[in-house]
Amino acid sequence: MRTSTGVAGQVLADLGVTDESLSTLIDDLDVAGTGDSTPELAAAAAMTLTVDGGTAVLTTTEPDAVARIAALVEQAGGPLTGEGPLAGPFIGLHQALETVSGALEAVLNAPEPAADEPPPTPSLRDRLRRRRTG
């Protein structure tokens, strides 16, 4: 769509498809069960990030991850923390969360287009805003 000189871009433009309408349609599609659904996309779709008071909560319903975590918690006899022998693996988890935090920060700090500029392709920030209000 973004390459208006390509065949697909020209056909979509001739059909009246815009970047905005295409982004909206893609956001609204459930790709589960399609050829576009990868294991990583399915796992990401099973995740939720929320805040409960002063605690950030990352949850997943992805069956393999839940089974692995359940087995670890059962072996430990209760919740796992990053203290003691698990400090090393939890450092890796913390580093992964820092990477996520950096990506989230980049989305939140994306510059807003000037009022006199033509609207760009919807940014991830705009798409998140639309999902939240939609």
69-81 pLDDT, tens digit each: 999 999 989 999 9
Q: Which H or E run includes 89?
A: helix 87-108
**71-to-3, 42, 86, 106 alpha-carbon distances in Å:** 49, 22, 15, 35
Dihedral sign from CA coordinates of 33, 34, 35, 41 = negative
pLDDT for the residue numbered 128: 65
Question: Do 4 and 19 meet the contact criterion of CB atoms below 8 Å apart?
Answer: no
Compute the average pLDDT of residues 29-57.
81
- Domain ranges for the chain: 88-134
Q: C-alpha dihedral over 71, 74, 76, 77, to 10 degrees?
A: 170
Is this model's pTM higher than 0.85 or not?
no
Q: What is the pLDDT of residues 2-30, one digit of tens each?
A: 666 788 888 888 888 887 787 777 777 76
pLDDT at 97 over 80: yes
